[in-house]
Structure 1
Amino acid sequence: MNNKWLIIIFVLLIGLGSLYLIVESSNTVGSAIMGVSKYTVTLPDGFSNAKAGDETPTMVNGATKETIVFKDLGKEKKMPKIIKSEYDNLTNNDEIEILKNTTNNTQNNVHTIIYKNLTNDENYSMIFFTKFNHGFSLKIWNYTSENELIDHVNFIINTMQPDYKQKQD
């Protein structure tokens, strides 16, 4: 075997090794995605797209039954009014107890309301955030822990990308 074939084999091995490292470290390669309005979101591990193709796509974890309903709320400037309205609706309901109400003023301005429905003794969470000059909400229930909830929300926010097949604002 001459040197030309050794170089070709060496380059192929480097290429295959590079592809393996790219796929192994990627959040999106090999993962399911879901369309949300004009954006795409990578589903966290264990989740599947339960309801697609409408205004409120839903993802469900088959093992834990954790459910996340995603909604595009429109332009970012509407967000404070929407958050206040939703918070007022929850506080005016006698069957709901607010457990946590926080705002994380980061790049995406994440606002979290965690509440308990007293009729079924179940915890729910509403997450509001902004990205790409749009406001979004996540309604989540059946989650096992608050840390896991935060991990899933961060994963969703970080993997959200514009769907370039659709006209952007």
Structure 2
Amino acid sequence: MSPLKCCAEIEDDNDVGSGALKMRKSFQLKDYMRSIESICDDWLRHSGATGRGLSPQTSRNGEFLRAVYALVLSYRDCGKLEIIKKVVEKDGNAPARGPTFEENPFHWALLSVFSEQGDGPDRRERSLFAYQMLYADRHKVPPHLLIGFIYQCGKQTPISQRLKQGEIEPGFSDVVERG
């Protein structure tokens, strides 16, 4: 199941007179669990791939990042972001020294995806991925542009440092809400 489709459905809106894409009012934990299982399966299925000949968009990391990012954004937009926190806490994987859920829900989502197995990204990769997604979110980057945004940021200044400094990428100052 696509992470974006797990919280969206086509409904008839009689007031508008046509079908409209709306976020579900009742969002279930089972939908989230199905989504993270699918993301985990995709990661494991691509574990033997070397990445040669693949674009950053279609690489294992690229597809993984986009899926997790889209999942978190969709749950936030549905007002059900707390489901992620509950899954991580229930599994006993809440970080003792890492970011709080409020500081970086993307980090917690990464913990939830691989909560039952250690075959996912290592701690360093998880931290990097979480910072990249948080930075993109602060710039209001849609999921389909996530990988391009990350690559355009470059590696001169680490994204974690940019987040701490409140840095805004050129061309985004009218989009980003400071604060």
Asked if TM exceeds 0.5, the reply is no
Q: TM-score, normalised by structure 2?
A: 0.30
**Structure (1 or 2) with the greater helix fraction:** 2
Q: TM-score, normalised by structure 1?
A: 0.31
**Structure (1 or 2) with the greater strand fraction:** 1
Larger radius of gyration: 1
